[in-house]
Amino acid sequence: MLSINPANGDTLATYNLTAWNDATRWAERAVQASARWNELSFSERSTALQQAAAALRRRAPELARLMAREMGKPLTEGVAEAEKCAWVCEYYAENAKGFLQQQPVESDASSSYVCFEPLGVVLAIMPWNYPFWQFFRFAAPALMAGNAVLLKHSSQVPGCAEAITGLLHEAGLPQELVVNLRLSRQHAEELIGQRSIAAVTFTGSTEGGRSVATRAGAALKKVVLELGGSDPYLILEDADIPAAAEACVKSRLGNAGQSCIAAKRFIAVKSVRQDFEGELLARMRAYTPGDPLDPATRLGPMASVELRDHLHVQVQKSVAAGALLMLGGAVPAQPGAWYPPTVLSGVGPDMPAYDEELFGPVAAVLEANDEEDAIRIANDTRFGLGAAVFSRDRSRAEYIARHRLRAGTCFVNEFVRSDPRLPFGGIKQSGYGRELSLFGIQEFVNIKTVYVK
């Protein structure tokens, strides 16, 4: 397994895969570690998570540099990611006990109540795009609930995977409780069927999620899936156009556009489409790709040449089908996985920019006849992760977000992002289950009824 710097194509390090027999042994040890961990009080588990949070804040610059080298994230974004991981650890350290408190229920019994128990060992199959956050947003609640975690991280970020488990072990979590397994995709999916695995969480592509869900379903294992997205942003005729364009560009170009909840399709009603497009183009032009290790850089390379080339083919096919290339759209003649900020206009059905997820710095502008048409276009997708509405009439926009858009997370006059206090997840082919908040910690527990006559 090679760790490749996407900025220049250099090999950073070589890692050996975990042997299958070793992986199954670690899984068995994790079963016993989970039982011992669950015997500790919430206070004792909380202490370890608080120590992990302190280490994440203290080591944020170092971890950001690791992310920049392995997957191209600019330093400022990497520091913010590490600090957000600290926040989610602190959030669950402070709230897990209340979230999982025994709940009395009135019935015809002398006593009846609901209590919560950990499931055991959870296999986490994680992506490269937010190598720390994607793990900690699941692991913080899962660990506070008393579970053990086996991490199968993306082959793109093996150094980040080692840093994650090393940091948690230093914070006081047993080595058998949080284990880094460098597995092939085949072995990761085979591990799902092992008796030692109680549940699975997967973040990644819809195709990958379908494969994991098939394996988990065959083994009758609980699974949470956070998959792809093609998030629509509705720009209504009374929107604050400059503010909307600013939010749209920040969402589209964050992490070089490599985010499931990044803004993907900008649906502007006809009366403001031209003005919005002009504001969008001006702001997209202001982002110049640069060295992710330079603190001044706002846009780094994509995570790999393969991903960049796939995105470029999607752009070319969209243009061939009638989309207008307004900005970018050319592969730079230099080593590395670079791609410029790109804007496509006149996007419509039967184009990759309309039907597929564009996982990179490409904005697709669509024109709607009116508000109703904009809502129709927004929902005309197989995905359902996030969506946003921009309008000066906040109650009107809230009604659309609340009642009309088919997505797991809907924002008004702001770009979509995750927050430990709010549940996060999608519908349709964006997956199922929820992470974060009360709902996230209850995904990997046995919700047990106790009835006493």
Q: CA-CA distance, 146 to 444, in Å (whole number)?
A: 9
User: Whats the size of the chain, residue-wise?
Assistant: 453
- pLDDT band for 401, please (50, 70, 90 cuts): very high
Percent above pLDDT 70 for the chain: 100
| Residue ranges of domains in the chain | 2-227+427-452, 231-412
Can you tell me which residue has the tokens 């085949």? 186
pLDDT of residue 74: 98
Residue 198 CB contacts under 8 Å (≥ 6 apart), including other chains: 119, 120, 121, 122, 147, 221, 222, 444
Q: Are strands 121-125 and 148-152 parallel, antiparallel or unpaired?
A: parallel
- On the 0-12 / 13-18 / 19+ scale of CB atoms within 10 A, 439 is middle
pLDDT of residue 274: 98
Residue 285 CB contacts under 8 Å (≥ 6 apart), including other chains: 327, 341
pLDDT of residue 1: 87
pLDDT of residue 16: 96
Same fold? 2-227+427-452, 231-412? no
pLDDT digits (tens, 9 = 90+) for 155-176: 999 999 999 999 999 999 999 9
Q: CA-CA distance, 225 to 170, in Å (whole number)?
A: 29
Asked whether 234 and 263 are in contact (CB, 8 A), the reply is no
Q: CA-CA distance, 222 to 201, in Å (whole number)?
A: 8
Average pLDDT over all residues of the chain: 97
pLDDT digits (tens, 9 = 90+) for 429-447: 999 999 999 999 999 999 9
Show the 3-state SS of the chain: CEEECCCCCCEEEECCCCCHHHHHHHHHHHHHHHHHHHCCCHHHHHHHHHHHHHHHHHCHHHHHHHHHHHHCCCHHHHHHHHHHHHHHHHHHHHHHHHHCCCEECCCCCCEEEEEEEECCEEEEECCCCCCCHHHHHHHHHHHHCCCEEEEECCCCCHHHHHHHHHHHHHCCCCCCCEEECCCCHHHHHHHHCCCCCCEEEEECCHHHHHHHHHHHHHCCCEEEEECCCCEEEEECCCCCHHHHHHHHHHHHHHHHHCCCCCEEEEEEEHHHHHHHHHHHHHHHHCCCCCCCCCCCCCCCCCCCHHHHHHHHHHHHHHHHCCCEEEECCCCCCCCCCCCCCEEEECCCCCCHHHHCCCCCCEEEEEEECCHHHHHHHHHCCCCCCEEEEECCCHHHHHHHHHHHCCCCEEEECCCCCCCCCCCECCCHHHEECCECHHHHHCCCEEEEEEEEC
Residue 64 CB contacts under 8 Å (≥ 6 apart), including other chains: 73, 75, 76, 77, 78, 79, 81, 82
pLDDT digits (tens, 9 = 90+) for 314-364: 999 999 999 999 999 999 999 999 999 999 999 999 999 999 999 999 999
Cα-Cα-Cα-Cα torsion 427, 429, 430, 431, nearest 10 degrees, comes to: 70
CATH match for 2-227+427-452 among 1.10.645.10, 3.40.190.10, 2.130.10.10, 3.40.605.10 = 3.40.605.10
pLDDT digits (tens, 9 = 90+) for 72-111: 999 999 999 999 999 999 999 999 999 999 999 999 999 9
User: 147: closest CA among 127, 169, 125, 174?
Assistant: 174
pLDDT of residue 40: 98
Q: Which residues belong to the active site?
A: 226, 260
pLDDT digits (tens, 9 = 90+) for 262-314: 999 999 999 999 999 999 999 999 999 999 999 999 999 999 999 999 999 99
Say what the pTM is: 0.97
Asked whether 369 and 234 are in contact (CB, 8 A), the reply is no
Mean of pLDDT values over 127-152: 98
What CATH architecture does domain 231-412 belong to? 3-Layer(aba) Sandwich (3.40)
pLDDT of residue 18: 97
Mean of pLDDT values over 363-379: 98
